[in-house]
Amino acid sequence: MSLTIIPPRPPPPRRRLPRILAGVAVLVVLLLAGAILALPRLELGGFAAARLQARLGRDVSVSSLRIEPGRWMALRLEGLSVANLPGGSRPEMLRLATATAALDLFSVFSGPLRLRDVAVDGLDLLLEHGPDDRANWHFAGGGSRAAPHPEESRRDFPTLLGLRLAQAGIAINTLGGKQLVIALAEAALVAADEATPARLTAGGTYQGVPLALDAALGSYADLRDTRRPFPGKLGFRSGETRLDFDGRFTDPLAVDGATGRLVLAAPDPSALLAMMGKPSPWSMPLRLEGELARHDRLWDLAEARGSLGGSTLTEGRIRLREGLPRQPDQLALELGFDRLDLNALLAERDAPPANADVPLIVDPAPGTLLELTVSARQLVYAGLRAAEAKLRLSQSAGRIAVPELAIGWQGGSLRAEGVIKGRPATDGQAAGGTISGRVDATGLEVQVLGRTLGLGALPLQGRVDGHAAVRGQGATLNAAWGSAHASAVVAMRAGSIERAVIEAASTDLRGLLRRAPGMTPLRCLVAVIDLRGAEGQVAPLRIRTDQGTVYGQGRFDLARRQMDVMVASESGTTGSFALDVPIRLSGGFADPDIAPAQFSAGGRALIAAADEIAPLLAELQPFARRSACLNRPRNRSTDRP
């Protein structure tokens, strides 16, 4: 008989599985509990720095990162540093002293992230381009990718239920070599929940000028509703200067796709000019409002209205296209004024309007290319009072072109064109510019023209036409005009002249017994003028009337109001009482000395050269030749000096 022992059969696997799962569950719970208990004691700074470094492709250091678990997980970060690009102006792009926040744990899995009680202290951020023009905020690590679409950015932006930023500095080094500095003493973003409108406030300085922001924004629900633009009312303040914008944004995070109403009020524009890096003693109050739109690199302010000092802007448009890296911006201004007072606008603070002037400094490498069109129903500049004025101007590298300058004056018109070229500073001269231009005058009242040029009352009545070419240089427009070289032809085809002038010029014996009353009609008048600064000469000068033809030449000084002119008559055109002896007028404009001129070779040559215009600039000669006064018979037997 044999005994067989049969071992017990093992339980089926399905009976063992619940026990294994239970053991695993207990282990997981124990591990989680241990992690939760240990997490506040763990230092995660090195781990976070390694992850960020791999993602950004830059050296990253974190002094400390600690987490306290909970439904709202508490985070505390200290000593964050992110390296700059090689060759940057400093080793670090970003430095951060401390940052704390509470993170909704569930939002990590469902997104977008929700945080509250976010506090950032001691932020120092530098934005610039490296030697290869690469922006230092573009990262080359494995985590870098193309910029997200605006709709994606709006949907994924974290919910910040309370943000406080203190002692933050942002420096921007432009490709043009300038540095823009924003220093925030404190900033706060407050939102009770995702459905409540948010409010953003900030205070600090921009380029050293105090600046405050108060913005009423839409809610986070508005932000994520990409079917509609995001609403925002932004208010900037710097002293009495205010800039308000009430509008909407299709890409609010990039401040792009903006449309709305802009209002700028600057009772004293010194703060505004200082922010632009152009400090100036200019003190005229400024107000500007219009419809602002921004898309991509184009800013467009349409339907602009406002005022500059006492000048009222009735219609205008301002367009700015931001340039690509290392390319200038393009600014186009179209401004229409009811009355434009340049004396008040250009005068320095507390200076009298008579000192108004325009600097002729032309930037050889401007950061902004300018296209300017200005029109005014009334214009005031220095002693000039004009109507229906228009100016077109463009600025490029080292050059300002004026293709059109037109004004209406005393029933006539002035049209000019010219170019201003920059002149660098030298040991003996300040920086300035050289001017070359052409001026055409039509129908100007001769009496008004005489008073404007400081000639006083002239013995002429009527309207005068003229063409002139001007060249000058100086640090300012007034300085260049004071030393300019101008060639001009002045002509009259009608009008009248005092009879006494014709009798005096022809040495009429009747002039010894009485002064001839009244005026005599002019057939024509022509004068060729060469002016260098305040000193000039007239040659030839011809006046033709029914009582005779007068010709002459001479010199004058507008600054000293002195002249020295020789005048003679054409004997075949004068009356029987005329001696036709040349006379000389010398001394002050108001009361010159009149005496017979000496017979000389020069006096006789005066007749022969009376029609000579060869020395005149070529562009002025056709206008001069159109005058009937220069088309006279030659070699008349009655001609004598």
Percent of the chain, pLDDT > 70? 78
Q: Say which residue, 44 or 5, is predicted with more confidence.
A: 44
- Rounded CA gap, 225 and 203, in Å? 30
Q: Is the predicted pLDDT of residue 84 greater than 80, yes or no?
A: yes
Q: Which residue has the higher pLDDT, 94 or 142?
A: 94
Arithmetic mean of pLDDT, 389-400: 91
State yes or no: pLDDT of 577 exceeds 60: no
Structural domains in the chain (count): 1
DSSP assignment letter at 316: E
- Indicate if the pLDDT at residue 190 is higher than 60: yes
∠ CA 32-33-35, nearest 5°, is 60
567 closest CA partner among 628, 502, 634 = 502
Percent helix, strand and coil across the chain, each rounded to 5? Answer: 20, 50, 30
CA distance 510 to 516: 8
* Whole-number Å distance between alpha carbons of 615 and 11: 127
Predicted pLDDT at 635: 40
At residue 421, the pLDDT reads 87
pLDDT at 390: 94
Closest CA to 401 of 377, 381, 378, 418: 418
Is the pLDDT at 417 greater than 90? The verdict is: yes
Residue 491 lies in a domain: yes
Higher pLDDT, 161 or 486: 161
Token duo for residue 622: 């056709």
Whether 357 shows a pLDDT value over 80: the answer reads no
Question: What b-and-e string marks burial along 374-407, b requiring 16 or more CB atoms within 10 Å of the CB?
Answer: bbbebbbbbeeebeebbbbbebeebbbebeebbb
Q: Is 322 helix (H, G, I), strand (E, B) or coil?
A: coil
* Residues 417-431: b if buried by 16+ CB within 10 A, e if exposed: bbebebbeeeeeeee
**Spatial contact of 221 and 194, defined as CB atoms under 8 Å apart:** yes
| 199, part of any domain | no
**What number of other Cβ atoms are within 10 A of residue 23's Cβ?**
10
Q: How confident is the model at residue 167 (pLDDT cuts 50, 70, 90)?
A: very high
Q: Is the dihedral of CA 465, 468, 474, 477 positive or negative?
A: positive
How many angstroms separate the CA atoms of 562 and 585, rounded? Answer: 10
pLDDT of 384 over the 80 cut: no
Summarised one tens digit per residue, pLDDT across range 466-502 is 888 888 888 777 777 777 888 888 888 888 887 776 6
Query: Per-residue pLDDT for 205 more than 90?
Result: yes
Q: Rounded to an integer, what distance in angstroms lies between the CA atom of residue 572 and that of residue 629?
A: 15
pLDDT of residue 591: 74
- Please state, in angstroms and rounded to a whole number, the distance separating the CA atoms of residues 421 and 424: 10
Higher pLDDT, 14 or 62: 62
pLDDT recorded at residue 572: 59
Is the Cβ–Cβ distance between 119 and 102 less than 8 Å? no
- Look at residue 633 in the predicted model and tell me its pLDDT: 45
**Is pLDDT larger for residue 298 or for residue 552?**
298
Q: Beta partners for 441?
A: 414, 466
pLDDT digits (tens, 9 = 90+) for 362-383: 888 888 899 999 999 998 877 7
Strand partners, 355: none
Average pLDDT, the chain: 81
Position 473 in a domain: no
Which residue in 571, 537, 554, 533 sits closest to 606, CA to CA? 554
Q: Compare 389 and 309 and report the one with higher pLDDT.
A: 389
- Answer yes or no: are the C-beta atoms of 596 and 581 closer than 8 Å: yes
pLDDT grade, residue 41 (50/70/90)? low
Would you state the pLDDT for residue 615? 62
Identify the band that residue 351 occupies on the pLDDT scale cut at 50, 70 and 90: low
- pLDDT of residue 511 exceeding 70, the answer is no
Residue 344: both structure tokens together: 């008040």
pLDDT band, very low/low/confident/very high, at 143 (cuts 50, 70, 90): very low
Residues 6+ apart with CB under 8 A from 504: 511, 583, 594
Q: How many residues does the chain have?
A: 641
**Residues 423-473: pLDDT tens digits?**
777 776 777 788 888 999 999 888 887 777 666 677 788 898 988 888 888
What number is the average pLDDT over the span 370-398? 89
Residues of the domain holding 510: 482-630
Could you tell me if residue 636 is inside a domain? no
User: pLDDT of 537-571, one tens digit each?
Assistant: 887 888 888 777 777 888 888 888 888 887 777 66
Residue 641 has pLDDT above 60, yes or no: no
State residue 512's pLDDT score. Answer: 43
Residue 4 has which token pair?
């067989």
Q: How confident is the model at residue 10 (pLDDT cuts 50, 70, 90)?
A: low
Question: How many angstroms separate the Cα of 446 from the Cα of each of 296, 442, 487?
Answer: 55, 11, 18
Q: Is residue 514 part of a domain?
A: yes
Query: What's the mean pLDDT in 246-272?
Result: 92
In angstroms, rounded to a whole number, what is the distance separating the alpha carbons of residues 185 and 161?
Answer: 21
Residue 414 domain-assigned (yes or no): no
Tell me how far CA of residue 360 lies from CA of 354, 420, 443, 479, in angstroms.
18, 8, 30, 9
Of 6-20, 50-64, 481-495, the range with the lowest mean pLDDT is: 6-20
Give the DSSP letter of residue 570. Answer: -
Residue 290, pLDDT score:
97
pLDDT at 62 over 90: yes
Q: Which residues pair with 422 in a beta bridge?
A: 433
Q: How confident is the model at residue 144 (pLDDT cuts 50, 70, 90)?
A: very low
Residue 585 near residue 565, CB atoms below 8 Å? yes
DSSP 436-454: EEEEEEEEEEHHHHHHHTT
The 10s digit of each residue's pLDDT in 276-290 is 777 666 678 899 999
Asked whether residue 193 is assigned to any structural domain, the reply reads no
pLDDT of residue 385: 82
pLDDT at residue 507 tops 60:
no
Averaged pLDDT for residues 150-179: 90
What is residue 596's predicted lDDT score, i.e. its pLDDT? 65
In a domain, 7, yes or no: no
Most confident of the following: 13-17, 38-42, 104-108, 421-425: 104-108
